[in-house]
């Protein structure tokens, strides 16, 4: 979009993007014993429901969508907060460290300097 911004056009574009996203069916992700249904906002491990915070759910969804590559801390921060990470902040690390207690201690692998990914099953 060009400056000066036309807020009516901006709103129309945002609504169009949201509509496209809503029309797209969201697949249920399955990885090992984990199942994640983004449409229903439900997660389970071996058939037992998991109680995840919205940010834990978003991180797990990102990791389950990209099981073959590492997701960097910057990518996770943009996903959760819409901006790059604050160098002083360790919130992403806190959420990533709390997930293994809920999904299994050996499920998330930290790749030093690269990010995080789910363990291949």
Task: Give 3-37 pLDDT, tens digit per residue.
Answer: 777 778 878 888 777 776 655 556 888 888 889 98
Topology annotation, domain 7-118: Arc Repressor Mutant, subunit A (1.10.10)
Task: Give 68-120 pLDDT, tens digit per residue.
Answer: 889 888 888 888 877 655 656 788 888 888 888 888 888 888 888 888 998 87
Query: What stretch of H or E contains 34?
Result: strand 34-37
So what's the pLDDT on residue 2? 64
**pTM of the predicted protein model:** 0.73
Nearest residue to 104 via CA among 65, 48, 42:
48
């Amino acid at each position: 979009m060009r400056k000066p911004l036309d807020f009516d056009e901006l709103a129309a574009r945002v609504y169009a993007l949201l509509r496209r996203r809503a029309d797209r069916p969201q697949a249920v992700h399955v990885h090992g014993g984990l199942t994640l249904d983004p449409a229903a906002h439900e997660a389970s491990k071996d058939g037992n429901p998991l109680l995840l915070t919205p940010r834990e759910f978003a991180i797990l969804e990102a990791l389950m969508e990209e099981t073959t590559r590492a997701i960097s801390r910057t990518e996770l921060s943009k996903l959760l907060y819409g901006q790059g990470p604050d160098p002083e902040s360790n919130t992403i690390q806190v959420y990533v460290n709390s997930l293994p207690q809920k999904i299994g201690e050996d499920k998330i692998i930290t790749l030093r300097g690269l990010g995080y990914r789910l363990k291949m099953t």
